[in-house]
Amino acid sequence: MTRNPMPLSEARTLPIWRRPTTLLFLMAMAMPVAFATWSALLNNFVIEAAGFDGSDIGWLHTVREIPGFLAIGVIAILLFVREQSLALISLGLLGVATALTAQFPSMGGILTITMLSSIGFHYYETVNQSLQLQWLPKERAPQMLGWLVSAGAGATLIAYLAIVLTWEAFDLSYSFVYMLSGGFCAVVALWCWLAFPAFRAPHPQTKSFVLRRRYWLYYALQFMSGARRQIFVVFAGFMMVEKFGYDVHEVTALFLITLLTNIFAAPLLGRAVARWGEKKALAVEYFGLILVFLSYGGLYWFGWGVAVAAGLYVIDNIFFALALALKTYFQKIADPGDIAPTAAVAFTINHIAAVFLPALLGYLWLVAPDAVFVLAAAMAGLSLALALMIPRHPAPGFETVFAGRALPLAAE
């Protein structure tokens, strides 16, 4: 990277392959190849290599989420490292740690390497969200965020296709697949470091802790999103292996269908957010999730089969793509200089429940798996109630339906 950052306004003079949006797309494609491959193989790997049960998988995800809870530390790091540099360093760490995952097939080894990959993932995600909101214009942000989701899904699609087509045919090992996917992520991070100049956004970011009263609804939605997401991430995939006996290539095939759906759905959902507004988009997401989580419970109450479970998994992911509306809601209400520090604070808030919820629910899972999904439905209901407090046209001073534009913009 160049020592003197290039103003964002001058980046349009660069060839397309060196512009900020291209960098965002490359990072958006590299990260999910490593993370999604890790996720696709994880449940089978930990069960076969270390004999994990529901409690063990809960503890694994609790450890994985600790760096997310500590994402507020990004603010301190940004005193010494540029956001763009931190994003690429974190992306490289994620890639290297993913590549080494299968080299430690024990409870302690898996927890340790998971912690390292999680530091890379969560610090990357924190800074990447900040860069997206700073580099993308407000009027185009929903559509561009939708395309970024689609690009990530497309890159992961290629990885999943390779696993589905070759896992059994060539008797692939966990070590080989983790090495390949993690190595790809690390190489892309290195290329981005060498090929792109450092970019300077027009608004300098506050390099201190920011917790503003007028952002309270955004904080609350982030907290509920993190708590609810943990149930899906930790237990929905685990259920497919434990209850229905999915093998690696079958889990990956399910992820493949989900990706194909997101490739086409994400840009349309981004356009829908731009047209509907954040309030309606999030309300649709949360109402749909209530129905999905209750239906997960139905798998245990009514004995529904694997086809229903797979369908629910795909639908769940479609609703999850609407979460980009939460990013654009914050972009509309935030002071421009608050984006980086608030992204770190919000990421920490998002992971408060993640630190203890997987471990606690792991014990509940052992006796009543259906109750875990009922709890998730209740969380989605509370999220819906919060989403209805978003105004049709959010802006500074008009962050909720209870706020008026006459309020001081910097009220804290």
pLDDT-derived band at 371, boundaries 50, 70, 90: very high
Residues 222-257 pLDDT 10s: 999 888 877 877 788 778 887 888 777 777 778 778
The pLDDT of residue 407 is 45
Residues 152-168 have a mean pLDDT of 81
Greater confidence, 267 or 359? Answer: 267
pLDDT band at 221 (very low <50, low <70, confident <90, very high): very high
Residue 2 has pLDDT above 70, yes or no: no
All domains in the chain, ordered by first residue: 13-200 (1.20.1250.20), 213-389 (1.20.1250.20)
Note whether 91 and 188 are within 8 A (CB).
Answer: yes
Closest CA to 136 of 33, 265, 221, 19: 19
| Higher per-residue confidence, 198 vs 351 | 198
**pLDDT at position 351, please?**
78
Cα(389)–Cα(220) distance, rounded to whole angstroms? 11
pTM of the model as a whole: 0.75
Q: Which residues contact 255 (CB under 8 A, 6 or more apart)?
A: 36, 39, 40, 156, 160
Q: How far is 278 from 125, CA to CA, in rounded Å?
A: 21
Residue 50: both structure tokens together = 């270390």
| Contacts with 136 (C-beta within 8 Å, 6 or more apart), sequence order | 21, 24, 144, 145
For residue 207, what pLDDT is reported?
A: 67
When mean pLDDT is compared over 200-204, 308-312, 378-382, the highest value belongs to 378-382
Measured between alpha carbons, how far apart are the two ends of the chain, in Å? 37
Distance, in Å, from the CA atom of 175 to the CA atom of 21, rounded to the nearest integer, reads 33
Beta strand 199-200 pairing with 6-7:
parallel
